[in-house]
Amino acid sequence: MLISDNRGYIASPVYPGESSRLHIVDLTAGVLVKSLAIDRLSEPFAEQDGIVYFGGNTPTAWDSTREQVVWRTDLTQRKGRLLYISPHAVLDATRRRIYLGEYDNSFFVLSSADGAVLGSVDVRRGHTNPARIMGMYGASRLRLARDLLIVGAGDRRLFAYATAAL
């Protein structure tokens, strides 16, 4: 769930299929404002200037005024490999970027303007733990602290990246 100003945004999957329901709640009045069916939404993580951003394998920007998808990027697979994107995404409004963690080995940098993949950063870097055969090494948690992106890896390592360099 995302809370922005006096609104709550909740996305919930509708099974079977790829449909989701986006519920918009007026938190001051305590009433449901709208409930819309929108395909392939994951958890909302940020709102800026009327655009609500959703993470997951299909990160999406949705215009709350026009009630339509602005852009959607498919990160389901890359280079023939299925990915699982962490629900913990971050909007860097200053640099107009979105950072999305991937559980296996990396995080992605996307443009918040159009959803283009600007790059990815490998946090695994060949690191393996023999005690964890099926371990997750990727970016499971992301936080923005001033000009640093703090990345918590799945194997409990912690990294800090200068956002200007990403």
> Are the C-beta atoms of 145 and 156 separated by less than 8 Å?
no
Q: What is the per-residue pLDDT for 127?
A: 57
Mean pLDDT, the chain, rounded, equals: 89
Q: What is the DSSP string of 141-155?
A: EEEEETTEEEEEETT
> Cα separations (Å) of 105 from 33, 73, 91, 130?
39, 19, 20, 16
Residue 42 vs residue 82, higher pLDDT: 42
Distance from C-alpha of 2 to C-alpha of 8, rounded to nearest angstrom? 6
Of residues 12, 55, 53, the one with CA closest to residue 36 = 12
pLDDT per position as a tens digit, 78-87: 777 778 898 7
Q: What is the per-residue pLDDT for 84?
A: 87
Question: What tokens were used for 146?
Answer: 């001033």
Q: Is the pLDDT of residue 90 over 90?
A: yes
Bond preceding residue 16 cis, omega within 30 of 0: yes
Domain count, the chain: 1
Q: Is the pLDDT of residue 1 over 70?
A: yes
* CATH code of the domain in which 7 resides: 2.130.10.10
Q: Residue 5: pLDDT band by 50, 70, 90 thresholds?
A: very high
> Are the C-beta atoms of 163 and 148 separated by less than 8 Å?
yes
The dihedrals phi and psi of 165, each to the nearest 5 degrees, come to: -90, -5
Longest CA–CA span in the chain (Å) reads: 54
Distance from C-alpha of 11 to C-alpha of 40, rounded to nearest angstrom? 10
Q: Residue 66: pLDDT band by 50, 70, 90 thresholds?
A: very high
Write down the pTM of the prediction: 0.89
Output DSSP code: residue 30. T
Query: What does the pLDDT average to over 94-102?
Result: 95
Q: Residue 94: pLDDT band by 50, 70, 90 thresholds?
A: very high
Q: What is the per-residue pLDDT for 80?
A: 74
pLDDT per position as a tens digit, 114-163: 999 999 998 876 555 555 555 567 888 899 999 999 999 877 888 999 99
Q: Which domain holds residue 57?
A: 2-165
